[in-house]
A and B are shown apart, each in its own frame.
Chain A
Amino acid sequence: RKEVEQDPGPFNVPEGATVAFNCTYSNSASQSFFWYRQDCRKEPKLLMSVYSSGNEDGRFTAQLNRASQYISLLIRDSKLSDSATYLCVVTTNTGNQFYFGTGTSLTVIP
């Protein structure tokens, strides 16, 4: 079983729409959680960390559900510039590496 699983999509949404991505993780000892954004042929860039209480950064909201072992990313009022692949990332308190989901592709349509 993969450490982190994501729906690959693609998600095609109109401008202004709200879209949500979910990601599940298998290791209950997972400690830190992140969402990264990756544009085509570019490096992944940190979008936001995910905290237990949930956190918001402008149009982006991230939530963590430890009991069900999933994290989510909500994007409100989608912009064309939000088109990218969104990667879910998890670390554990015993390992020395980051575990990446395969990414969810988002295209925002005019």
Chain B
Amino acid sequence: DAGITQSPRHKVTETGTPVTLRCHQTENHRYMYWYRQDPGHGLRLIHYSYGVKDTDKGEVSDGYSVSRSKTEDFLLTLESATSSQTSVYFCAISEDRVKEAFFGQGTRLTVV
């Protein structure tokens, strides 16, 4: 299995609080992605990174920010969590944009 670790695996937080999710890889892959998965919507891209300090928005980026200061770490921050951000968040990595992606185990976030 690809070396991807997400933390925390589960989190419950209150509306309005900031939350940071971490994705750590040991594969030295260039591309890293954050997705959210909700019933009826499948996997939707939030943000992605194509190198250190190089990031771009996905289709559902509002309310989220990311940072990548090292190849191995990609952080997703919810500046002020809302109930609509209750979801399962998956990090993925890829060696190349046309090669297969490997996923972390997911973070189950509940905003109350």
A residues lining the B interface (CB < 8 Å):
31-32, 34, 41-46, 49, 87, 89, 91, 93, 95-98, 100-103
Contact = CB atoms under 8 A, between A and B. Distances in A.
B90 interface: yes
Interface string B26-45: 00000101010000111101
A43 B48 contact: no
Interface of B: 31, 33, 35, 40-43, 45, 48, 50, 56, 58, 88, 90, 92, 94, 97-106
A96 B56 CA distance: 9
A14 B73 CA distance: 44
Given A31-B98, A46-B100, A97 B48 contact: yes
Contacts of A41: 88
Given A32-B99, A43-B104, A97-B33, 19 more contacts: A32-B100, A34-B100, A43-B90, A43-B106, A44-B90, A45-B103, A46-B101, A91-B97, A91-B98, A96-B31, A96-B48, A97-B45, A97-B97, A98-B33, A98-B45, A98-B92, A98-B94, A100-B35, A102-B40
Q: Tell me if B's interface is mostly helix, strand, loop or mixed.
A: strand
Contact of B42 (A45, A95, A97, A103): A103
A91 B102 CA distance: 14
A95 B97 contact: yes
Contacts of B104: 43
Given A32-B98, A95-B97, A100-B43, A42 B105 contact: yes
B97 A96 contact: yes
Nearest to B97: A96
A27 to B, nearest CB: 13
Contacts of A102: 40-42
